[in-house]
Structure 1
Amino acid sequence: MIRVPDVPNGRLSDAWRACVGTGRLDLALRRDYQDSLALLQRDIGFRYLRGHGLLSDGLGIHRPYEWQGTRRTHHSFTYLDQVLDACLGLGIRPFLELGFMPSAMASGEQTVFWWKGNVTPPADEKEWTDLVRATLSHLVDRYGADEVRTWPVEVWNEPNLTAFWLNADEQAYHRLYEATAHAVKEVDAELKVGGPAVSPGADGWLERFAEFAERRDVPVDFVSRHAYSSGPAQHVPFVVHQTLAPASDLLDQFAEPRRSLEGTRLAGLPVHITEFNSSYRPDNPVHDTAFHAAYLAPVVAAGGDHADSFSYWTFSDVFEETGIPTALFHGGFGLLTHRQLRKPTYHLYAFMSRMGEEQLARGDDHLVTRHADGRVTVLAWAPVDPTGRTPGPDRHTLRLSLPAGTAPRGEAFVRRSSVDEERGNAYTAWRHMGGPRSPKPGQLDVLHEASEPARAHHRLPVEDGRAELDLTLARHEVTLVELTPVDDETPPWWDERRLLGREVP
């Protein structure tokens, strides 16, 4: 029995909901994208949205032309305005990532992804900084300086990888960062700019970034990096499989920037994990499973100990880095599939959104909080075996002694919501259906029904102001339990035994 204290041990960090990732930004022009984002915000409510492609050709901001024999540049914000208006209208702000290179400005032809984001430095640094200044000046003019000052500005994405930056040239990235950061500050000195948005395995990049920033007196307002826990990809047609490190490896990666930057000029700056997930592949079926929710539950519960934000990559399977998906469930990064089917990891986040502000306890398999009105909430998860050598335990039990209100005696109303291998799991239902690549309307209705968490209700006795909660979790289950003191208003003449007209002594 774990006795949960009455006194909180601090506020529950909300770093888990500070930001979420997205496919390239011009996808936000699509109706299914906006429908998915609306559902996400209704059930969870993230504060910021980060994605690639702000300056790529898809949004069409950089538009060079010739006039009277001279090459000139026009900056068009038609699509950008529509994207940001849609996001802001749904209560989510942009976490601006400056990239990739507009093709007409690029120094080379190397691209990444199916949609061909150019990853080479600018052919003309001034043309690049003009673009940065024009874009941010437009945003300040349209949305106001006070608002845009709350939008972090990140310079590029994973420059330590040759796929995302020509030759992973560190010195070239430092030159790009320096020119870009000064351009950002020229628009408004209070805009927040940072980087270097490196991937796992970027040994020494953060330390050298700090040295460079100090040596050159370059503005840095926050530090960013990414975190993934998967091994090399094993390819089969349209899908990959990968080994996984224990989930604690992700927490170690979250903590790495503060360790690496201790004693540097960048020590103490906000740390943003601007991408994280288990697998770095958008076609790994592990993303669709109940295992994934249980695997990530301790990361979501504890990540705020190590970073100011950690952004799940991504909120939706409306995402095309490796091409147009070939099936409804295809291993996409999203919390939601196309057609807004909620995956088990979506419910993990939705459960977190119903937790209280005060943290009472946290363990290897549970998190306990309390709301301002006295309601106690428990998030619990079953342990997983990330090696895959075993399926994980069939059952996992947890016994908690919980504070349950101010009255010494009485009862607590218990509301429980759960997802596991069978319940709240559209992926399992889809597999039982035979994995239809394009489910018919009736099948989609069944899958939406299958994605609903299992729900149960009962009462617990309260003795000495505490309730004893026994939980049995199925394999890979994530469950949310909410306890509310019962104020019983049942009239004295009510008797369930009389429902069928029986006489009761």
Structure 2
Amino acid sequence: MGRNINGEFEFDVIRHKDTAAAWSQELKVIFVLRGNGWLHTEEGDRTYAISREDIFVINSFQMHSVVLEENGLAISLSLSPSFLAAASPETEDRNVNCKSFLHEEEKQQLFDIIRKDLALAFRAWYKKESELSIHLRSRVMALADDLYRYFSENVENTGRESGRERLRAAVEYIHRNYREGITLADLASQTYLSTSYISRSFQKYMGVSFTGYLTQVRLFHAALLLQGEGTVTEIAYESGFSSASALIDAFKQYRGITPGQYRRNLGKRPVTDNAEEMKTAEGFSMAFVSLMKYADKAEEAAEPVVTGVCEISVSTGIVKRQLRHTWKTMINAGYARDLLNASMQNQILDIQKSVGFRYIRCKGVVDDDMMLYSRDVNGNSSFNYVYLDQVLDFILSAGAKPMLELGHMPSAMAQKKVQFFKRPSFISPPAELEQWRLLIESLMEHLIGRYGMEELKKWLFVPWISMDMHLFGLFVKEDFGEIYSVTYQEIKKACREFVICGPGTTLLSLEAAKWFCDLCRERDCIPDIFTVRSYAAIDPEEEKSGLKLVENNESFYMAVDGDEDCLMHLRRKVKDFLEAEGEGFCGLPVLMDEWSNNIWQRDLCNDTCYKSAYLFKSIMENHDSYYGLGYFSISDQLDEIAPAAEAFHGGFGLFTQNGIAKSAYRAMQLLSRAGDKLIAKGSGYFITASENEIQIFLHNYCHYDMLYRYRNTTNLTKTRRYKVFQEKAPRSFHIQLEGVRPGRHEVRRYGIGRKGGSAYDAWIDMGAPEPMTKEEEKTLMRLSSPVYRREEAEAEGLLKIKASLMPHEVCLITISI
């Protein structure tokens, strides 16, 4: 899950059916997050019942097993002997006797200290409270100090640890092959130790014979299997026992009961209130709350807030480069039918007036709700373009050009009636490809007849949906190839100058992307613009964090990427890919046709001022590196999942479904004021200039913490949404502008943060009313404007500007010149 840089300590998660090693050289601190289970140790050959919030320690080289019930979950922190010895050599001669479950509630005060220490250490790790490892090490060291202060006891030094270390290869072989008929001779051949040495060493250093150790390992696995429905005979053979009788005898010898009694006891365990997965209404796990409440209650002296200072010296007379502001090339409006909604139209008109995008992209052009294609009772096809014409007329009236994704598939034409989303969108190849071709032919004839050839040359066409949808088993890539190539040919047959975009890939599968390029060369259907998309999502297995992604049925099975610069890194990846593909693809413009901070449509952080900082960072750092950055999307009115009753429900949009501007929209408004000359750019700042003004853009972005990236949270509610980020200090910027004309200059400051510019935070200050009255909605619209201040500054060839930003805050400073 998480190991520190020198392998000194490691956090890990223990789940049902995870088999903890029977021994290890590390000291382990284990806290039960939820559910019940059992701890079996070599001391007195004891088995203990464990439950939620129990905390206990497994000493170095202590044989043990931890078994959890089906919904059980625990967290462990392993401390290496070298880490403990470096801190205090005396620990080598001491064990820790810490088992909270042996004591009554009134005697838990000392154990609460250990719980608090573990919670603070875990928080320091997953929130990255400091860039320096010394902070995390100090938290872990405090835990070790309290363990040995309150729970240590002297042990006789018998050389057991070094002896056990020599047996490591033998023990590991047993754990890998316990199902087989292992003998001393097998171990000797595997470890190059004599059989007599192995036999003596097991008894001397492990406190049990070789046969006894092997039997206990098999028992550990048998106990796990007894939680299932297998018969005793099946479990005996699966665990390495020669017969059911052998398993029964071993259970009686080491557990004092039969396997049948053990299984019956499992069924008698009381079901606690925590037996079921605890989730928020939005589907986020609350599994770590039981531990992290001890961090919240910790009575620590307030630590001083350290502010990072960024000193910037800029010559205003030197222009780095001219800016094209390609992030304003395109924005997503969602599904075509939504553009007939008056509220959506007002939102689009708002953003076009304040920002002004060249293209408005809409999906679902041939979905059933557009009523574009149907068949009568005799099977005859008919086409109706009324709704589509209204959508296109509106986009043009808003001062933009359409970018049309010709998807998904009319139900009357679909091979399979597969609805991936809640809305009537069928993701399927056509039953007859010729019918699809005729649909595209008819569509192009209609568009040319209504809008003219020259107008359509300014539009963008996407032949079908994203190629990546085949990764979810909705169709095979060969189906995509057929539909894409046929559609491409029909569009180009109408006019070779019509602009085609594709394939809308995340490049998660390079193999599929290469296949697409080969197909395009083979069938002469290379797109004019290569399109990619990013929702900062990764396969949970890719990161090997050890955390389990909390699933729900309204999100793809993806975690949020820990890479804060994933947009930048994706652009480099795409560039390298296209260059490697060579002919036809090298040098193609790259359009990000969809992007956002994650794939979750109910991420409550989407409503907060975090999103404004995310947009500032993403657009500033990737300015003009793409042909366009198509943010997804304008509005929360997106019917891919069931609509939410609440205004601030965590949707993708820049506006709530009732038209309230979020902080993300306010951020776009500020960014649209950038000049056409780049003066300076760096971590957290972007300075531009126009003819009579300098614009300074600043942000203090904070990324999601490790737990939240996997949909786990310790404290996220509708009114508390800022505790799921990495710890970050306030940041100050000291900026010196050289070459400014002497005299007084007007300085204007616009800020977005929790104190202004964020409709969500204003809603919290209003008492979080739900549902809102019309008066409250109007008040929020007014309060969502950025904080504004005007001042004057004196320059004598040098102008000094200072600004301090709290986490998640952004700022625009304009200076008249």
Q: Give the structure 2 partner of residue 399 of structure 1.
A: 734
CA distance in 2, matches of 1:97, 1:385: 32
Aligned-residue offset at 1:107 = 0.8
Q: Equivalents in 1 of 2:455, 2:469: separation in Å?
A: 33
Partners of 1:266 and 1:22 in 2: CA distance: 28
Map of 1:190 onto structure 2: 497
- C-alpha deviations, 1:164-223, integer Å up to 9, x for none? 7723x1111111111111011111111111311123523322222111211222242111
* Counterpart-to-counterpart distance in 2, 1:73 and 1:179: 19
Separation (CA, whole Å) in 1 of partners of 2:356 and 2:391: 18
- For structure 1, the residue ranges without an aligned partner over 5 or more in a row are 486-505
Cα deviation code 1:402-433 (max 9, x no counterpart): 2575x3x1011001110012211111122344
Map 1:109-124 → 2, pairs under 5 A:
109-124=417-432
- SS of alignment partner, residue 74 of structure 1: strand
Q: Distance in 1 between matches of 2:738 and 2:333?
A: 39
- AA of the residue aligned to 2:440: V
- Shift in CA distance, 282/200, structure 1 to aligned 2, threshold 3 Å: farther
Per-residue displacement from partner, 1:214-245 (whole Å, max 9, x unpaired)?
12222421111111114566467989996452
**2:323 aligned with 1:12:** yes
CA distance in 2 between counterparts of 1:383 and 1:390 reads 10
1:261 maps to amino acid: L
Corresponding residue for residue 268 of structure 1: 587
User: Does residue 1:78 correspond to 2:390, yes or no?
Assistant: no
**Structure 1 counterpart of 2:610, one-letter code:** F
Q: 1:164 to 1:84 in 2, by over 3 A?
A: farther
Alpha-carbon distance, 1:256 to partner: 2.5
Contact map agreement 2:334 2:633 (CA 8 A) in 1: yes
TM-score normalised by structure 2 residue count: 0.56
**Larger helix share, 1 or 2:** 2
Which moves more between the two structures, 76-85 or 5-14? 5-14
Amino acid at match of 1:266: F
Which residue identity does 2:314 align to in structure 1? V
1:21 pairs with 2:332 = yes
Work out the CA distance in 2 between the residues paired with 1:152 and 1:45: 17
Counterpart selection for 1:125 from 417, 420, 433? 433
Cα separation, 1, equivalents of 2:597 and 2:640: 17
Residue of structure 1 equivalent to 2:669? 350
Amino acid at match of 1:442: E
Is the radius of gyration larger for structure 1 or structure 2? Answer: 2
Structure 1 residues 356 and 50, CA gap change in structure 2 (3 angstroms): same
Question: Does structure 1 residue 281 correspond to structure 2 residue 614?
Answer: no
The equivalent of 2:62 in structure 1 is none
1:106-505 equivalences in 2 (<5 Å): 106-162=414-470, 166-167=474-475, 169-199=476-506, 201-230=508-537, 234=550, 243-263=560-580, 264=582, 265-371=584-690, 373-387=691-705, 392-403=727-738, 405=740, 407=741, 409-464=742-797, 466-485=798-817
Deviations 1:308-335 (A, max 9, x none): 1111000111211102222101111101
TM-score, length-normalised on structure 1?
Answer: 0.89
1:246 and 1:163 map into 2 onto residues whose CA distance is 23
The residue number in structure 1 matching 2:351 is 40
Q: Is the contact between residue 327 and residue 436 of structure 1 (CA under 8 Å) also seen in structure 2? A: no
Q: Which amino acid is 1:331 matched to?
A: G
- Please give the secondary structure, in 2, of the residue aligned with 1:4: strand
Between 1:28-37 and 1:10-19, the stretch displaced more is 10-19
- How many matched pairs? 477
- Higher mean alpha-carbon deviation, 201-210 vs 82-91, is at 201-210
- After alignment, is 231-240 or 472-481 more displaced? 231-240
Query: By how many angstroms is 1:387 displaced?
Result: 2.1
Kindly indicate whether structure 1 or structure 2 has the higher relative contact order, using CA contacts under 8 Å at least 6 residues apart: 1
**Structure-2 separation of matches of 1:303 and 1:144:** 35
For residue 112 of structure 1, give the secondary structure of its aligned residue in structure 2. Answer: coil
Residue 117 of structure 1: SS of its match in structure 2?
coil
Cα distance in 1, alignment partners of residues 415 and 693 from structure 2: 59
SS at match of 2:614: helix
Does the alignment pair 1:2 with 2:308? no
Q: Measured at CA, do residues 194 and 137 of structure 1 come closer, stay the same or move farther in structure 2, by a change above 3 Å?
A: same
Query: Structure 2 vs 1, CA of residues 314 and 78 (structure 1 numbering), >3 Å: closer, same or farther?
Result: same
Cα distance in 2 between the residues matched to 1:11 and 1:202: 35
Deviation at 1:163, TM superposition (A): 7.8
Residues 138-147 or 426-435, more deviating: 426-435
**In 2, Cα distance between the equivalents of 1:383 and 1:170?**
38
